[in-house]
Amino acid sequence: MYSTWIMKNSRDCMDCGFIAERGERLYEVIDSRASYQCQYGIFLKDCSSCYYCYDCHGCNECFMSTNLRNKSYVFKNQQYTREEYLKKIKNLELYSFVNRQGLVKEFEDMVKQEAIHRYVISDKNCMDIYHAGWNTTELCYELQGCTRTANCQFCHLCYDNMNVMYSDTCQNSQNLFGCVSIKKGEYMIFNKKYSKADYETLKEKIIEHMKQTGEYGEFFPPEIAPVYYNETQGNLYMPMPKQEVLAKGWQWEDNVPGTFSKETISSGSIPDKIEGVPDSYLNEIFACIDCSKNYNITKNELLFYRKESLPFPRKCPNCRYKRRFDLRPARKLWHRACMCDKNHISHKGKCEVEFETCYATERKEKVYCESCYNKEVY
């Protein structure tokens, strides 16, 4: 797997992530699971050979479609026979970089303007949770990058845990406080093992001290970050100018590491189709068409592009990551009303249900409540 983030039980995937599992031969697929040979997909589940699809479950051979359930040979949300569908796909010439660029723009517009968006994804009794995944997460507060957790607070990248607080990168553990990189641990504080009684006593003392200093009840503060703000994910989630970052007492780095102007071949010289790319490209240096930063590719990357008939990338891994990142909603909640205006059993005309959602009020997506979403999609 290359240029992926939070992938589990997957293989042979490229430029995927944001919580994806049990995938194979995926490219530019995010927030998906149990899918095979799909490209440019969001919220896919149990799908195969789907391209440019959003919120599709149990689908096979579908293209540029949204909110499908158990469908095959659907092209731009229109049903076709197998022969008709394959003919349309062939005419698109998906191996062309030029053609792919237009399809990416069409896909992004479709997600914003045509797809129906569910206001929240199935976790219960949770608040202020981002990137927590969808697997049995409950009774949690202020987590980041966690999944399959219960009664955990103020944690980062913790999986399969119970009763864990203020910890980072811990797995298969319970009753931890202030721990880092613990696996299968229990009754530990600052990575030190205690008896159950001593653990509970010391934990309460630390919490009482944190309450007095005003630290308790909040996620890890930026002041203790080991890297500069503009080098972190935080600068993507909440971009700030240098002056504002420094005014908050945080760190900033003017000379962010990177190589520029060392390219050995121009982006305009790269063939439109992967079949024209020679093995010698493994020894070349390229310049990103977005940020101008230099990048190269590995042998397995090139083999993947050839295997999947994908055009050679013109952007560096970081800019490809940012494109996927920008497709996701903000890490903030807005109070909104359901946008469904169709007649259902539960309502006639405009639905009056209100909720908190991560889709901002000014965004163009159609956001439905749970009931209207299920009636429309299933």
Helix H segments across the chain?
82-92, 97-113, 196-213, 234-237, 242-247, 299-307, 317-326, 370-377
pLDDT of residue 117: 82
2's tokens: 């290359």
CA 174 – CA 159 distance, rounded (Å): 11
CA 96 – CA 271 distance, rounded (Å): 9
CA 7 – CA 317 distance, rounded (Å): 16
Q: Distance between alpha carbon 289 and the CA centroid of its chain, in Å?
A: 23
For residue 34, count other CB atoms closer than 10 A to its CB.
Answer: 18
Residues 82 and 161 in one domain: no
Q: What percent of the chain has pLDDT over 70?
A: 93
What letter would DSSP give residue 183?
Answer: B
Residues 20 and 113 in one domain: yes
- If one compares 346 and 191, the residue with the highest pLDDT of the two is 191
CA 149 – CA 143 distance, rounded (Å): 10
Residues 198 and 159 in one domain: yes
Do residues 274 and 312 lie in contact, with contact meaning Cβ atoms separated by under 8 Å?
Answer: yes
| Surface-to-core class of residue 56, CB atoms within 10 Å of its CB (0-12 exposed, 13-18 middle, 19+ buried) | buried
pLDDT of residue 123: 52
| 146-168 average pLDDT score | 94
Question: Average per-residue pLDDT in the chain?
Answer: 91
Residue 84 counted as domain residue: yes
CA 58 – CA 46 distance, rounded (Å): 5
pLDDT band at 226; cut points 50, 70, 90: confident
Residue 133 pLDDT more than 70?
no
| End position of a domain, from candidates 85, 118, 151 | 118
pLDDT band at 59; cut points 50, 70, 90: very high
Residues 113 and 138 in one domain: no
Domain span at residue 371? 334-377
pTM of the model: 0.80
Residues in contact with 101: Cβ distance below 8 Å, sequence separation at least 6, in sequence order: none
212's tokens: 């007095």
Residue 222 counted as domain residue: no
Domains: count for the chain? 3
| End position of a domain, from candidates 65, 97, 118 | 118
Residue 312 counted as domain residue: no
Task: Indicate the residue type of 77.
Answer: N
pLDDT of residue 357: 87
pLDDT band at 252; cut points 50, 70, 90: very high
- If one compares 154 and 147, the residue with the highest pLDDT of the two is 154
Residues 42 and 132 in one domain: no
| 273-298 average pLDDT score | 97
| 261-268 average pLDDT score | 96
Q: How far, CA to CA in Å, does 338 sit from each of 110, 353, 372?
A: 20, 6, 8
Q: Nearest CA to 286 among 298, 275, 276, 273?
A: 298
Residues 138 and 112 in one domain: no
Q: Nearest CA to 295 among 303, 308, 304, 285?
A: 285
Residue 301 counted as domain residue: no
Q: What percent of the chain has pLDDT over 90?
A: 71
